[in-house]
Amino acid sequence: MRHEGRRQDPRPEGNGGGTADGLSRIIVLPRAAAVMGPRYSAAIVPAMDLDEWVETAPAALRESPLWTVRVYQIGTLVARLATQDAAALERHPRFADTVSQLVKSAGSVSATVAEGYSRQSRRERIKYYEYGLGSAREATTWYSNAGNALPAETVDQRLTLLARACQLLLKMIQNERKGRGRQFPRDLP
């Protein structure tokens, strides 16, 4: 059974009750729930939004200048969620290949953004941001393929995060190509 309790969002109605960048609330599964079975038969932790997760992320991450890059925050969260989701997928023999590919591609989003962020040349930053975009799209495909083994709400939330990562990466690549340097969009219009 799922825990239905959602916290009230104190934000004004104007932003749709989601986060500042429009993302819906995110289900974060505790380790115990991740190993309970393919359908997460244990209670799911009340949903938290991306901003709440960003505030509670490990201090080592939050203290890095890279942490100000929203797509890096999203990529880091998706990597952690994919690792948790892998426990459910491993119980399904037909998803054996999907598990490793999902975890690798999800983890690669933030890793390639971090590598690109550290590059001095615009050309290299673009290359790594494009790698990150490819990884986000690959993780999207793996989540789509695993739809029957994970709860639909979980898959939808992961796909929403990955779609936002793709949008932000496309904007970052566009900014680099236009010579705007390291302008990292917090949100899209």
| Contact yes or no for 185/20 (Cβ under 8 A) | no
Position 128 in a domain: yes
Position 28 in a domain: no
| Whole-number pLDDT of residue 187 | 60
Query: pLDDT digits over 79-129, tens only?
Result: 999 999 998 888 888 887 789 999 999 999 999 999 999 988 899 999 999
Position 1 in a domain: no
Position 71 in a domain: yes
Position 164 in a domain: yes
Q: Which amino acid is at 44?
A: I
pLDDT tens series, the chain, 189 aa? 333 333 333 333 333 334 445 454 555 544 434 433 444 333 333 456 788 889 998 899 899 999 999 999 999 999 999 999 998 888 888 887 789 999 999 999 999 999 999 988 899 999 999 999 999 999 999 999 887 888 888 999 999 999 999 999 999 999 999 987 665 555 655
Position 173 in a domain: yes
Strand (E) or helix (H) holding 132: helix 122-145
CATH (domain of 62): 1.20.1440.60
Domain count, the chain: 1
**Domain, as residue range, for 162:** 58-177
Q: Which two tokens stand for residue 155?
A: 């898959």
Position 185 in a domain: no
CA–CA distances in Å: residue 142 to residues 96, 145, 188 = 12, 5, 25
Q: Which two tokens stand for residue 14?
A: 């104007």
Position 18 in a domain: no
- In sign, the C-alpha dihedral spanning 57, 142, 101, 162 is negative
Strand (E) or helix (H) holding 112: helix 96-117
pTM above 0.75, yes or no: no
